[in-house]
Every structure is written in C-alpha cells, then in structure tokens.
Amino acid sequence: MAYRFVAFGEVLWDLLPSGRVLGGAPFNFACRVASIGDRGIMISRLGDDELGREAIAAMQALGMATTCIQRDARHPTGTVPVSLDAAGAPVFTIVQNVAFDHIEPAAEAEAAVTDADCFCFGTLIQRSPASARTLAVLLERFRGKLRLLDLNLRRDCWTSASIRSSIDRADVLKLNDDEAAAIAPLYGLEGLPLCGFPVALLGKTRLSHVVVSLGPRGAFAVSGSGEVSYEPAYAVEVVDTVGSGDAFAAGFAHGLLEGWPLSCSVRFGNALGACVARQRGATGPITPSDVERLVREDRRGNTDPRFA
C-alpha cells in the first residue's frame, strides 16, 4: 500500500566538498519515501532568488509536488556548508535567518497535513518563532497515524524546552546515539547504557516507539507494546553518509504504517539508509528494487554486544 507522508521543515542547499546538493533532513525524508512507492509532500519556504528557483526545479525533476513550498522575497534560500570528517560523517555549518525560518500557515499545508498518514518534523525548524508557531498549528490539524520526530540536533539550534515539547507531540522518536546522550539528562536518564535508554524514555513519555540509529553498527528500536529489536547494518561501500539517517527514518516509518514486526521495520530502514550511503548526496535515484535486492542479499555484520 502507498502512504502519504508530509514533512515540515528545511529545504536547503548542502554545499559539499564535491559540489552543491539539495538537502535538509525533512526534505531528504520526503524525497526518499517516493523511492519505496509512497508519496512525500514537503512543507517549507525558499527565497525568491536563484537558489530558490533552482531548488524548485530540482524538486520537480525528482517528481515532488511544490504546492506547499512558499517563496520569500526578504530572506534567502537556506544554505549549509558541509565538510566530511575522516570517517565520512557530515559536519554542518547552518546559516541563520533564512527563508525556512519564516514558514507561514497556509491552506495548502493544512490540507496536506489533514490527508497524511505520517507527519515528520524535527528540531532545527523550531529555532525561529515563526516556523515553530506554524508547526504547532499543523500538528494540531494532523489526524493521521504517526507523528514522527526525527530529532536531528544541530549546534545552537535547539533548547531543552523545544526537545521536551517536540517529544510530547510525537508518537515515534528517531535519534542517533550522540543525541540519546545529549537528551538523557533532560529525563534523568544520564548514566544508562545505550541499550537501556529507549525503554526508560518510553516510561517517561507518551511515545509509542523509540529508535536509535547507530550508523555502521545498525539500529536499535523498542515499542510501547514491548517489542525490542536490534538489527546490524548492511555492508556497503560508503561514499558519504549525508541523508542516510533520513532515509532510515523513511524506511522505518513505512514499516510501522504497514504493521510489520519491529525487526522488519528496522531492517528495512537500515537497507534504505545503506542505499543512500553508497552514493553521493542524499537524493540520488533509488528504486524499490534496489532496496529489496539489498535486503534479499542480506550482507550484514553481527555487531551487537550491546552496540559497542
């Protein structure tokens, strides 16, 4: 079955060492759900400038609707210089006060949210009061199955209050191991081993699922119904990891909507993330058959001993 996903947040240009690539975590998510046969709708705001026009053209070339993309004559399209560390992991420098910081309520966005099965949002978009207010309006309008918070903490772009508020309004929390360590003190969970963090967080919130992506070590998830799943990563030749976590979130959410066992949802997310990691940038072409082939070949390690 094909599902309708709406993602709210930043569309921007990642300025990679190898060139300019359209990105932004929620945009990558919305783009990637189409790779597995679902429909992704992006709600964002671009500058009325050359980079904004190029972004619109790129989205259309990817087959994405642009009816919920606002234009801004006063603020530029977002840009993020990205460098890669020795392990190929991205290091971001996010430009402030850009168009996506000023997303306004709009009828098109409210209609899209009303019809969606899954609403995805993060914390970066809440650094500005204007976009944070619009997010609150749209979350109130949403009547679908999953509110997915992909935490995506970026330096100087979040507060303890915004994290708590976001988790309070989410059903599913996706984060990485560094982010788990960063938010643990907010819930009195510092000092817990990583394998115990998701279950403990479920006990302190109204979340239905917590999933921790571990990069080359795989991913670990728990549900409020008692399911627990660790799945090792797929062995691929990594080109860069920009967007692979967003792809993981898309695959995992698809599995939850399908009602798959938790282990299958984690495995599918791992496979979609691995497909992204073996190419440059976050939005290159990937087909459902690419993901299915990787799952079928099942070339994975066995990292567990509690994710060390």
Q: What is the CATH number of the domain that holds 21?
A: 3.40.1190.20
Q: Tens of pLDDT along 56-110?
A: 999 999 989 999 999 999 999 999 887 778 887 778 788 999 999 999 999 999 9
Pick the residue with more confidence: 284 or 127?
A: 127
pLDDT, position 300: 76
pLDDT, position 229: 94
Q: What token pair was written down for 187?
A: 């819930």
Q: For residue 140, which amino acid is it?
A: E
Q: What is the pTM of this model?
A: 0.93
Assign 294 to helix, strand or coil. helix
| Domain around 240 | 4-307
pLDDT, position 302: 61
| Cα–Cα distance, 158 to 20 (Å, whole number) | 26
Would the CA dihedral through 149, 157, 152, 200 be positive or negative? negative
Pick the residue with more confidence: 102 or 283?
A: 102
Judge contact between 4 and 38, C-beta under 8 A.
yes
Place of tokens 């190898």: 18
Whether 53 has a pLDDT exceeding 60, the answer reads: yes
pLDDT, position 260: 97
Pick the residue with more confidence: 280 or 22?
A: 22
Contacts of 211 (CB under 8 A, 6+ apart): 172, 173, 174, 175, 198, 219, 220, 221, 222, 252, 266, 269
Band of pLDDT at residue 119, cut at 50, 70 and 90: very high
Assign 27 to helix, strand or coil. helix
Return contacts of 60-64, CB within 8 angstroms, 24+ apart. Answer: 62/31, 62/34, 62/283, 63/34, 64/30, 64/31, 64/34, 64/40
Pick the residue with more confidence: 191 or 3?
A: 3
Q: What token pair was written down for 29?
A: 């998510």
Closest CA to 169 of 201, 190, 138, 124: 138
- In terms of phi and psi (left: phi > 0; alpha: psi -120 to 50; beta: otherwise), the region of 302 is beta
| Cα–Cα distance, 191 to 165 (Å, whole number) | 23
Average pLDDT, the chain: 92
Task: Report the number of distinct structural domains present in the chain.
Answer: 1
| Cα–Cα distance, 12 to 25 (Å, whole number) | 9
pLDDT, position 172: 99
Closest CA to 255 of 225, 285, 221: 221
pLDDT, position 201: 98
